[in-house]
Structure 1
């Protein structure tokens, strides 16, 4: 899994004022030693959830570091970089702490190497849609090279990582909808019902019907969409993030409604298999954001969730950010991204008012409007002849500029700056938001070496 979502498991957080010396280093990619990891497990430190997993040989179960169960003896514990690696070694997901529902590792957003780019694309569903050859082609490597690098660092290759993600998607659908099991199997990306059944039994030690029974009657109908909890670590700057989204909202594709503290952000999404509408609430009773998704095709669930996670910056490591910037971690610093990277690029260039006009004149109308949401943002090809956005839209449509999750960020910024009408600041903003780069200084005030690799967060705090 790249990011955590679903019915969030229990976990015991420690004081946010603890010194950061034992934090995993997303900045450098350094790996914690096993003694440090075991101390995190012993203290049930939720700050490490998603950064690594531990498995217990005597039980055959793997957990998140904050699992509230009794701490196992050190001699019985094995550590893994990913849930997929633990599953590959035959361990089952803990029923108590739900390790597949943790936030994703912040390292995949910080790092720019092939492993991080691959993880971002796997999270976006590229392997499910295009297979390993498609992933390798996007990365510019051979399938064998991608397999070797991922397995060497993460303990699992792209197929295993995608399979773990499919299993989690299936669990969500089993426990939040009344869809037939057969439909869920294919919606989650499995090639056959048999493969689906075997994977669910191996990972969760239950049948699909057993997983559904655990929901305790919480499953809902299709009218209400799919209800999810989008997990994050640490504190979260809810008011600031929702203020930003409200100030940027473009009519017909976005809206923010409700009083401050209890607002709901809603928007349309253009997804690989069809349109979607998502809603995310500002208020929640725990360390997650409540979300509800209405999808034209359930195969888009994983992609939609990952786009929301990038938009709300839910895989961030606020402890590392706070330490480097010298701010209180209770502020929960975040650097929001974009749900639709190509859309954000056009919006950054033409501004909010013109973006609204583009939606009205060139957007794709929803078959069934939902309140104030009536359109999808125009595809780049529809804007080729627009006076201001035309050159950028053409570059996006032809692939001259790539803004997908696995794009090389430095190469993308160079390509953007070569587009007529795109200045250095606009290119930096697109890199920061559309590509989710945590270390961009679009304005001089945030361009300080001591703030690397979190200059994007400094830019948000300086606004």
Structure 2
């Protein structure tokens, strides 16, 4: 999009572009999402940025009305397989917070300077600025949804010092942390409601204390076919690690999470009142919050662009009635790529047996959730296979095919679900170039239509 087209989107308050770009107003010093309900500024006063971090780096603060830091992520980063796309996925997963820029660069196979240059050229901010913007969003969420001391929030959000935390909050929100906490304006995406049912209300927090779960609203753009997403997860659920409870239309999906600093439990509701999924996350170490949120977003495919997907697939006469029947159909991912790969390779029944035999019992069971899925390394599986968010998808698929017993169908399924590739063709079925770059979504439509030309491969696993 050029600047004039972007301004048209701002003028019409077009929510389709929330998260795809941001605009800032020179006369106010504020940046917003395209759908901000405030009065449309004059074109001469508007500047456009590809990321919130780029706007912040130019000295603009986040709008308190539209909360531009809480929009869905850009779908472009899941489509792209190049260095910038891989870097953006890893930054979202918290790699810079845990390993620094050298760790990110090492995973990409480039120098830190090269990564800085490529990101700055394409998204207007380097890895440190992008991670900083993400930390600020996490800090705001904790300030407005928990009663944790400000000092604990600073380190839980990933800041190296309280001073760095205070300076960042002032710069981005034009408020001190205490003022931001005291602001009673309802956030656009997250809210302050209680943490849900008694079964998932408590979990051990940082330092071993029992703390309430963090309530979230996980935003998405456009239509969302919730029933199909929850049906898929319910059909795949493995006892003790996952469960889906409730009647269709009002179900809750729950699962245990293995995270960099500890474990956690997440619950996501099928029924919500707007363009979000209500969720609750219970963590044993709050430093895992950013990573946990990103993994839930990948699991439910919340950063997808259903406008672009449905337009492209709906133009095919064969898929048009399927798209019309299920607008906003997603291609779900996974909360744990290695776990999904193991499950896809061994099958659901054997995966359940692995959980019973090798799954680590969590310290504080929650309802039927009692174990973590065993790590692939403990099982002696997936040796030499990289499945983190920054993995090269082609290289990973070839590594999977080199493993004994892994078919091309299974490797493709892992590529689609574990690596979040939106453009995987149906194995043994039609490989229509006109569906690019959304062939994974075509697979979901064909599966649900029980189209025999899709072959034996389905979007889930046996």
Q: TM-score, normalised by structure 1?
A: 0.89
**Mapped partners of 1:61, 1:178: distance in 2:** 28
Counterpart of 2:394 in structure 1 is: 410
Query: Residue in 2 aligned with 1:95?
Result: 64
Deviations 1:291-316 (CA, angstroms, capped at 9, x unpaired): 00000100000000000000000000
- Quick one: structure 1 residues 334 and 324, their matched pair in 2 at CA, closer, same or farther if it must change by over 3 Å? same
- Kindly report which structure 2 residues correspond to 1:173-188, keeping only aligned pairs within 5 A, or say none: 173-188=142-157
Any unmatched runs of 5+ in structure 2? Answer: 187-191, 196-209, 315-322, 448-462
Matches within 5 A, 1:54-203: 54-203=23-172
Q: Are 1:230 and 2:218 matched, yes or no?
A: yes
Aligned-partner Cα distance in 1 for 2:211–2:43: 48
Q: Write the deviation string for residues 199-249 of structure 1: whole angstroms up to 9, x where unpaired.
A: 000000011011111247947696430000000000001000000000000
| Offset of residue 448 of structure 1 | 1.3
Matching residue of 2:333:
337
Q: Residue by residue, what CA displacement relative to the aligned partner does 1:429-462 show, whole Å, maximum 9, x if unpaired?
A: 0000000000002423352111111110010111
Q: Deviations over 1:250-295 (max 9, x none)?
A: 0100000001111000000100000010000001111000000000
- Looking at structure 1, the residues matched to 107 and 312 of structure 2 have their Cα atoms a distance apart, in angstroms, of 33
Aligned-pair distance for 1:381? 2.0
Q: Distance between the aligned counterparts of 1:108 and 1:63, measured in 2? A: 21
Matched, 1:295 2:265: no
- For the aligned residue pairs, the C-alpha RMSD in angstroms reads 1.3
Task: Tell me by how many angstroms 1:338 deviates.
Answer: 0.6
Aligned 8 A contact 1:176 1:215 in 2:
no
Partner of residue 248 from structure 1, selected from 222, 236, 249: 236
Name 2:441's counterpart in structure 1: 457
Distance 2:184 2:427 in 1: 48
In the TM superposition, residue 328 of structure 1 has moved relative to its aligned partner by 3.3
Q: Tell me how far apart the structure 1 counterparts of residues 72 and 382 of structure 2 sit (CA, whole Å).
A: 36
CA distance 1:173–1:406, shift in 2 (3 Å)? same
- 1:281, 1:290 within 8 Å by CA — same for their partners in 2? yes
User: Contact 2:193–2:215 at 8 Å: present in 1 too?
Assistant: no
- Equivalent pairs counted in the alignment come to 420
1:438 aligns with 2:422: yes
Question: Residue in 2 aligned with 1:10?
Answer: none
Report if the CA contact (8 A) 1:446-1:459 is conserved.
no
In the alignment, the residues of structure 1 paired with residue 436 and residue 20 of structure 2 have an alpha-carbon distance, to the nearest angstrom, of 20
Counterparts of 2:112 and 2:185 in 1: how far apart (Å)?
43
Cα-to-partner distance string for 1:2-36 (whole Å, 9 max, x where unaligned): xxxxxxxxxxxxxxxxxxxxxxxxxxxxxx11100
Residue of structure 2 in register with 1:355 after alignment:
351
Cα deviation per residue 1:148-187 (whole Å; 9 max; x = unaligned)? 0000111100000000000000000000000000000000
Q: Given that residues 30 and 63 in structure 2 are in contact (C-alpha distance below 8 angstroms), is that contact kept between their aligned partners in structure 1?
A: yes
User: Secondary structure at 1:324's aligned position in 2?
Assistant: helix
Which position in structure 1 is the counterpart of 2:203? none
Q: Distance in 2 between matches of 1:79 and 1:330?
A: 34
Q: Counterpart of 2:166 in 1: which secondary structure? A: helix
